[in-house]
Amino acid sequence: MTLEILTSDELDGVRHGFFTRRGGASSGVFSGLNCGMGSSDQAEVVAINRARVAAAMNVGQDDLLTVHQVHSSDVVVIEDARDAHTQADAMVTRVPGLGLGVLAADCQPVLFADRHNSIIGAAHAGWKGALGGVLEATIDAMVRTGAMRENIRAVIGPSISQRVYEVGPEFLDQFIAEDTDNSRFFANGYGDRYHFDLPGFGLHRLRRAGIASASWTGHCTYSDPKRFYSYRRSVHQKEVDYGRLISAIRL
């Protein structure tokens, strides 16, 4: 099956893609393009999937870089492939031929580009990372590397949408403690439950950072099982594990 790669006009001129699960070699609960080495999928099959992504991005298999994501605000500036062997949740580079990849299965994969100064970035931003500032830290790292804030464009890929992202009051309290205005990203649910707008919150943080533009592709990972993996859906369905989607960008 052919790979399905979502792209955004915001990043025209820079090779990028938000890959769906279609076109992969994995089977069972991982059926499709599972690119998560941290999953319990067969390592050799995940390697095949990542090789297909590398080919689609026109980079060598060893040049499709991902970091050990830990829901932090840490960013690594990549000078060569060895720099990706670390714990972080975002990467920035100005080196042609290196592909920056982030894995997600409900969290926000965010791709960044300053085309004028040939600097790109990629971030994994779940609620904890977004609240902790990983998006702003990625932008700051791009600026330190030579990007201009007013030239940076960012796109949020497939993520869990507010309609299906139910949380408890203690979750809301963490966001209110950071800024009372964050209440606007929550809608009332059943009983004491709320529904959190993760992509809306991500867009708010990106736009507040003063970059040229920020958008979301509008795809909900939870609601489209044929195209996307979803951690929360796997929990609700009592599955033993779940696949990880990859989003990538390169100069």
- pLDDT tens per residue across span 160-204: 999 999 999 999 999 999 999 999 999 999 999 999 999 999 999
Mean pLDDT of the chain: 97
Q: What is the pLDDT of residue 111?
A: 98
**Number of structural domains, the chain?**
1
In a domain, residue 166? The reply is no
How large is the average pLDDT for residues 216-245? 97
In a domain, residue 47? The reply is yes
* C-alpha–C-alpha distance, residues 119 and 186, integer Å: 34
How large is the average pLDDT for residues 202-227? 98
- In 3D, which of 167, 156, 164 has the Cα closest to residue 107? 156
DSSP the chain: ----EE--GGGTTSEEEEE-STT--B-GGG-B----TTSSS-HHHHHHHHHHHHHHHT--GGGEE--B--S---EEEESSGGGGSSB-SEEEE--TTPEEEEEESSSEEEEEEETTTTEEEEEEE-HHHHHHTHHHHHHHHHHHHT--GGG-EEEE-SB--GGG-EE-HHHHHHHHHH-GGGGGGEEE-STT-EEE-HHHHHHHHHHHTT-SEEEE---BSTT-TTT---HHHHHHTT-S----EEEEEE-
How large is the average pLDDT for residues 143-170? 98
Q: Could you tell me what percent of the chain has a pLDDT over 70?
A: 100
In a domain, residue 27? The reply is yes
In a domain, residue 183? The reply is no
How large is the average pLDDT for residues 89-116? 98
> pLDDT confidence of 67, banded at 50, 70, 90?
very high
| 69: containing domain | 5-161+213-250
Checking if the pLDDT of 1 tops 80, the result is: no
- Count other Cβ atoms within 10 Å, centred on residue 10: 17
Checking if the pLDDT of 36 tops 90, the result is: yes
In a domain, residue 15? The reply is yes
Q: What is the pLDDT of residue 188?
A: 96
* C-alpha–C-alpha distance, residues 46 and 39, integer Å: 9
In a domain, residue 26? The reply is yes
**Most distant CA atoms of the chain, gap in Å:** 52
CATH number of residue 45's parent domain: 3.60.140.10
What angle (nearest 5°) sits at the alpha carbon of residue 9, between those of residues 7 and 12? 90
In a domain, residue 191? The reply is no
Token couple for 4: 């399905």
In a domain, residue 153? The reply is yes
